């Protein structure tokens, strides 16, 4: 099983700042086999980024994804108030499909 | 628009089973695989498996094999996930989530149902 480790566990930033979230895999992941989801309290997750760097429909351009091999990054260029949430990475390279434990992005 | 509607909550006793429904609308139900993902309270996401509504083929995570059954009723565009021999460790929100690609599992999930809280308690 591919274990995804996200860091930091909690990230405290202010609106307007840049956020960089990390997802490290226990083994190499095929380039297009990583996604990112956003989850707000009491809501279901929402797909943000798929195939490492493609934004899902309706996702603002301030969200971007990058990475390869075992190291992947979600960047939010300038935080909006609605971006404070928990973010999960997910891989589909190997079965079972697995998720990271999440990074909580909180308002500083 | 695409919608997945789930019941809000279920309460079950240890040893019982639960069957969670997921009614789809806004698209051709048989065209997209449906996944099930669960989330224990305050915890992360755990993928359970998928069903192909076109024919009913399934694929389960090894952890759940023998204890989960995923089915569908195409006449009412509804997918089901039944989990047996429940323990307190199965207390979680269970989500259905549609695959993003028609015809085969791309294994990205969008959209998601709102989730069903299954509480296992004596």
Q: What is the mean pLDDT of residues A21-31?
A: 94
Interface subset of B 14-43, CB within 8 angstroms of A:
none
CA distance B94 to chain A (A): 10
CA distance B32 to chain A (A): 16
Residues A36, A49 contacting (CB under 8 angstroms): yes
Q: How far is CA B28 from the centre of its chain?
A: 18
How many other CB atoms sit within 10 Å of the CB of residue A97?
26
Q: Which H helix or E strand runs over B25?
A: strand B18-25
Give the pLDDT confidence of A96-107 residue by residue, as tens digits.
999 999 999 999
Give the pLDDT confidence of B30-69 residue by residue, as tens digits.
999 999 999 999 999 999 999 999 999 999 999 999 999 9
Phi, psi at B78, each rounded to 5°: -130, 135
Pairwise CB contact (< 8 Å): B110 & A46: yes
**Can you list the pairs that A30-33 forms with residues at least 24 positions away whose Cβ atoms lie under 8 Å?**
A30/A93, A31/A68, A33/A91, A33/A92, A33/A93
Bridge partners of B109, per DSSP, are B99
Residues of chain B positioned with their CB less than 8 A from the CB of A50: 100, 108
Amino acid A2: pLDDT: 95
Pairwise CB contact (< 8 Å): B107 & A92: yes
């Amino acid at each position: 099983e591919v274990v995804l480790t996200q860091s930091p566990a909690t990230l405290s930033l202010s609106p307007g700042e840049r956020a960089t979230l990390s997802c490290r895999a226990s083994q190499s992941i095929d380039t297009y086999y990583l996604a990112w989801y956003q989850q707000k309290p009491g809501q279901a997750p929402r797909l943000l980024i798929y195939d490492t760097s493609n934004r899902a429909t309706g996702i603002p351009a301030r969200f971007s994804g990058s990475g390869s091999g075992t190291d992947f990054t979600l960047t939010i260029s300038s935080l909006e108030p609605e971006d404070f949430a928990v973010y999960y990475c997910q891989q589909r390279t190997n079965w079972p499909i697995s998720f990271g434990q999440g990074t909580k992005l909180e308002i500083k | 628009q695409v919608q997945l509607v789930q019941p809000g909550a279920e309460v079950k006793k240890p040893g019982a089973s639960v069957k969670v429904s997921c009614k789809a609308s806004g698209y051709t139900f048989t065209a997209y695989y449906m996944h099930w993902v669960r989330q224990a309270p305050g915890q992360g996401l755990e993928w359970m498996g998928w069903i192909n509504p076109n024919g009913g083929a399934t694929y389960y995570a090894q952890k759940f094999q023998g204890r989960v059954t995923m089915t569908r009723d195409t006449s009412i565009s509804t997918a089901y996930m039944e989990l047996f021999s429940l323990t307190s460790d199965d207390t979680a929100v269970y989500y259905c989530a549609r695959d993003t690609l028609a015809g085969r599992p791309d294994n990205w999930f969008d959209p998601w149902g709102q989730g069903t809280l299954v509480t296992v308690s004596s």
